[in-house]
Structure 1
Amino acid sequence: MRIVFALVLLAGLGLAGFAVFMAQGYIEQIQAERDQLIAMRDQAPHLSDVVVAKKTMKYGDRITRDDLQTIKWPTDSLPAGVFNYIEAPDGAGSDVKAFFARGETRPRAALRSFEPFEPVLASKVTQPGVDAGINANLTPGMRAFAIRVDVLSGVSGFLRPGDRVDVYWTGRIGDSNVTKLIQTGVRLIAIDQNADADRTEETMIARTVTVEVTPEQVAALTQAQSTGSLTLSLVGSNDVSEVGPIEVDQRTLLGLQEEVVVAPEVKEVCTVRTNKGGEIVVVEIPCPD
Structure 2
Amino acid sequence: MRAVFGLVLIVGVALAGGAVLMAKNYIEQHQAALARERANGQGSVPTVPVFVAAEQLVYGQRLTKDKVRLINWPQNALPPGVFTDAAVLFPSDTDKDARFVLRTMEANEPLLTVKVTEPGQDAGITSRLEKGMRAFAIRVDVASGVSGFLRPGDHVDVYWSGKPPSGRRDDQRGEVTRLIQTNIELIAVDQSAGSGSAEATIARTVTVTARPEQVAALAQAQSTGRLSLALVGTEDDTVASLVEVDQRSLLGIAEVEAPALAEEERICTIRNRRGAEVVEIPIPCTN
TM-score normalized by the length of structure 2: 0.73
Tell me the equivalent position of 1:255: 252
3-state SS, counterpart of residue 163 of structure 2: strand
The CA deviation at 1:114 is 3.1
Match of 2:181 among 161, 180, 183: 183
Decide whether the 8 Å contact of 1:69 with 1:86 is kept in 2.
Answer: no
Tell me the equivalent position of 1:234: 231
Tell me the equivalent position of 1:77: 77
AA partner of residue 53 (structure 2): A
Aligned counterparts of 1:217 and 1:165: Cα–Cα separation in 2: 14
Aligned counterparts of 1:74 and 1:216: Cα–Cα separation in 2: 44
Deviates more, 1:157-166 or 1:115-124: 115-124
Aligned counterparts of 2:80 and 2:248: Cα–Cα separation in 1: 50
Aligned counterparts of 1:185 and 1:258: Cα–Cα separation in 2: 33
Tell me the equivalent position of 1:17: none
Match of 1:99 among 89, 95, 99: 89
Decide whether the 8 Å contact of 2:269 with 2:280 is kept in 1.
Answer: no
Match of 1:133 among 112, 124, 130: 124
Structure 1 residues 260 and 85: CA distance shift in structure 2, 3 A: same
The CA deviation at 1:271 is 9.6
The CA deviation at 1:155 is 0.5
Segments of structure 2 that go 5 or more residues without pairing to the other structure are 1-21, 273-277
Alignment of 1:204-219 (within 5 A): 204-219=201-216
Alignment of 1:192-207 (within 5 A): 192-202=190-200, 204-207=201-204
Tell me the equivalent position of 2:63: 63
Decide whether the 8 Å contact of 2:136 with 2:207 is kept in 1.
Answer: yes
Structure 1 residues 104 and 138: CA distance shift in structure 2, 3 A: farther
3-state SS, counterpart of residue 175 of structure 2: strand
The CA deviation at 1:242 is 0.7
Decide whether the 8 Å contact of 1:170 with 1:178 is kept in 2.
Answer: yes
Cα offsets for 1:99-153 (capped at 9, x unmatched):
244x574111112333333211222212222232312222222111100000121
Tell me the equivalent position of 2:108: 117
Identity %: 49
AA partner of residue 170 (structure 1): S
AA partner of residue 190 (structure 2): D
CA RMSD of aligned residues (A): 3.4
Q: How many residues align?
A: 245
Aligned counterparts of 1:256 and 1:234: Cα–Cα separation in 2: 30
Bigger fraction of residues in helix: 2
AA partner of residue 200 (structure 1): A
Tell me the equivalent position of 2:11: none
Tell me the equivalent position of 2:219: 222
Aligned counterparts of 1:61 and 1:279: Cα–Cα separation in 2: 102
TM-score normalized by the length of structure 1: 0.73
